[in-house]
Amino acid sequence: MCLTASCLRTAPVLAVMLGLSSAGLAAAHLSPESIAGWAAYVSTTERRIGRELRSAHGFLAMDFDENASEDRRAVLGGAVVVRKMTAADLRGGLMSVPSARVHHWRGEVLIPGVAVAQLVAQLKNGAPPNQPDDVLQSRVIERGPDWMRVYLKLHRRRFVTVVYNTEHLVTFARHGATRATSRSTATKIAEVSDADTPRERELPLGEDRGFLWHLNAYWRYEEVAGGVIAECESISLSRDVPSVLRYLVDPLVESTARESMERTLSSLKARHARS
């Protein structure tokens, strides 16, 4: 169950690059326009996901990509495949969020030796995953038959230290005997100031440094010969970057996000694979 680790790792990159600008690490304001833009981006993405799940021509987002055959062969061969994604509006134009940046990625891995029913049961009934250097604390706040609310205290130390108190609503659904989905929506992301000191406090939403404002993760699980293909599609929102820094920031953010998705999927495989 990938929640936030992949996106959290991009925050220090943004932090160190923004530190080169006059804005530095000052608080960033989450504007009403950004909130509306994020809602539109999420709505468009979820409509597309819904169409794919109802399609008779595939199930994974990978199946609807121009590289579908190549990527599926690579995944079945044991590779972790990661692709950057975008959302298109009704006119086919690429969507963006005013005064903010969307980070949209997708990845797949084969988990050998398991069935969908077995994997989903483990995810639904288990504890939040332990990811060293990323998760300081984790617990299930509440659990239902096909959902759970999870608390994670997230930490990343690279260039600067970023700590968040986060809560996530995770839901599960079955799509026949060999297919399933889950969705994780961050219902709270609060940057922690002066962590692990008597002055520790949460910064108000939208008045923090803006490295991670929103995060959704959409998972699909398809049983195939030899195991289950697990696919994660993650979208997150952060503060914008001054145009003068984008040529420096973009390659670092993209390489960090790609490597982070690879580590998240590889970690999932290591936890659940059966020989």
- Three-state secondary-structure class, residue 33: helix
The contacts of residue 256 (CB under 8 Å, 6+ apart) are 9, 10, 13
Q: Model's pTM, two decimal places? A: 0.88
Provide the sign of the torsion angle of the four alpha carbons 239, 244, 245, 247, taken in this order: positive
Q: Read off the tokens for 274.
A: 């059966």
In tens digits, the chain (275 residues) has pLDDT values of: 455 455 555 554 555 444 444 444 566 788 999 999 999 999 999 999 999 999 999 999 999 999 999 999 999 999 999 999 999 988 889 999 999 999 999 999 999 999 999 999 999 998 877 666 677 888 999 999 999 999 998 876 555 678 899 999 999 999 999 999 999 999 999 999 888 889 999 988 767 888 889 999 999 999 999 999 999 999 999 888 777 676 676 777 787 788 889 988 999 999 999 86
pLDDT at 30: 87
pLDDT at 204: 83
Domain range enclosing 164: 5-272
Cα–Cα distances (Å) from 95 to 49, 89, 98, 136, 252, in that order, read 16, 6, 10, 35, 22
Q: Among candidates 75, 52, 72, 54, which has minimal Cα distance to 64?
A: 52
The CATH number for 109's domain is 3.30.530
* Short-list 202, 193, 132, CA closest to 160: 193
- The answer to whether 11 touches 238, Cβ cutoff 8 Å, is yes
Number of domains in the chain: 1
